[in-house]
Amino acid sequence: MIEASDRAAAVRTLIGRGIAPRSIELTSGGTAAGKSALAKVVGKSGAEGLPASVSRAADLVDTEGSPPATMLPDLGVLRRRGMSLQDTSSFINELATAVQAGLPIVPALRTLMRTRKPGVQRNMLRHLISEVESGRTLNSAFASWGKPFDEMIISLTKAGEVSGKLAEVLSQAAELLERDLKLRRSVLSATLYPLILLSFAGLAVAIIATFIVPKILEPLKGQNVQLPLPTLLVQGFADFMATWWWLLILLGGAMVMLFGHLRRSPGPRLAMDEFVLKVPLIGNVLRDAAVARFTRTLGTLVSSGLPVLSALRLTGETLTNEALRQGVRKVCEEVAGGKTIAEPLDNTGLFPPLLVQIVSLGERSGKLAELLRNAAGSLELRTESRIKVLTTVLPPILVVIVACVVGVVVAAILLPLLDLQDAAGRM
């Protein structure tokens, strides 16, 4: 029991005694305003408490006079949606900047919380502050919140806290997320435009063939005209759509559900991901993007101080392609048995020879992390060049395909009309 003018004064008194309080409570003899209040201290001495206990105790003082996070309800239950990759990257980058500026963790988190509007990010920051103030490490606080803090971010943060290089490691994590976001946007931009073009073209052709062509060909009914093959095909498609449109909707929904089920099944998902990697143009782009992300993540984890095998396992689990993930798991098994990384990595046949050579050189020279990060830059440049090729080649191919389909529809309209005109001329 100590006597202090307010809560902040109580914290300062305890710090001077070498005590790191975990919580401070007003006794019945205190006042609501905290004037001449008696405080009950629950905590341990600095020698028995947590590392950096003095800074953690100082963090209990709220500079704005608002209640500390330990006195607020746990708002983790108020999570309504996850943070996007861009939001996560911005948050990690801002936190790294604040830590580099010399702020302890809790004041840094409080500073970030003041810039956020009420919502999921503010709730997340309040939760993190509460966890750290209660004595947990930052990586444990990340893990208790869940998404978007995946295993990679948690492991990097833990490595930074253990090595004493938290600011540097957080900067590396922010850079990794930013590059990952840039790479995903590049792949999305390469595939989004062709998909939009193909979707609108298919919708236009379906409307023309279903509603317009039958009305144009309606006068030919009852005429003694042999309809050509394109007309028969378009007319059959129109009749099928008019009669069985509901069946197509049911089949589409069933296919979406089946696809989701197959993606959740290990065997079918592996076969599908292996097939995707073999698709011309698109498969090479997706493979290069995944390998570039794998290389940069592995280099970042190794440079942060994680053991190579742990970093390799963690990086493999971040891959979204099951074929590549299984390949990395086999590499981990052989590395755990005493082999180097380069040989089993080459035996998978999934990774480019350039990466295998760089890994081999890095293992022999002891500069694996540095060479991996350099290789990631080269692989990202190659990915960007292939994306440019894809965006250049794929649209003309789709235009030719759509032109052929439109040509068939036009032929289905014109050929019977020309036959009817010839028949009228002969009469």
Domain boundary among 133, 159, 178: 178
Residues 196, 172 share a domain: no
The reported pLDDT for the residue numbered 64 is 36
Angle at 85 between CA 79 and CA 91, to 5 degrees: 75
Cα–Cα dist 112/170, whole Å = 15
Cα–Cα dist 343/304, whole Å = 24
Task: Considering only residues 16 and 259, tell me which one the structure prediction assigns the higher pLDDT.
Answer: 259
> Mind giving me the DSSP string for 182-225?
HHHHHHHHHHHHHHHHHHHHHHHHHHIIIIIHHHHHGGGTTS--
Helix (H) or strand (E) holding 284: helix 282-303
Task: Considering only residues 5 and 120, tell me which one the structure prediction assigns the higher pLDDT.
Answer: 120
Residues 378, 290 share a domain: yes
| pLDDT above 70: residue 352 | yes
Rounded mean pLDDT of 176-204? Answer: 78
Residues 56, 90 share a domain: no
Whether residue 275 lies inside any domain: the answer is: no
3-state secondary structure of 329: helix
| Distance from the Cα of residue 216 to its chain's centroid | 50
Task: Considering only residues 19 and 187, tell me which one the structure prediction assigns the higher pLDDT.
Answer: 187
The whole domain housing 419 covers 187-261+400-426
The reported pLDDT for the residue numbered 13 is 65
For the stretch 130-186, pLDDT in tens is 888 888 888 888 888 888 888 778 877 887 787 777 888 888 788 878 877 887 787
Computed over every residue of the chain, the mean pLDDT equals 75
CATH number of the domain to which 291 belongs: 1.20.81.30
Provide the domain count of the chain: 4
Q: Mean pLDDT lowest for which of 211-220, 226-235, 275-284?
A: 211-220
Rounded mean pLDDT of 87-102? Answer: 86
Residue 36 banded pLDDT, cuts 50, 70, 90: very low
The reported pLDDT for the residue numbered 45 is 35
Residues 371, 328 share a domain: yes
Residues 246, 150 share a domain: no
Residues 344, 406 share a domain: no
Residue 73 banded pLDDT, cuts 50, 70, 90: very low
Rounded mean pLDDT of 110-127? Answer: 84
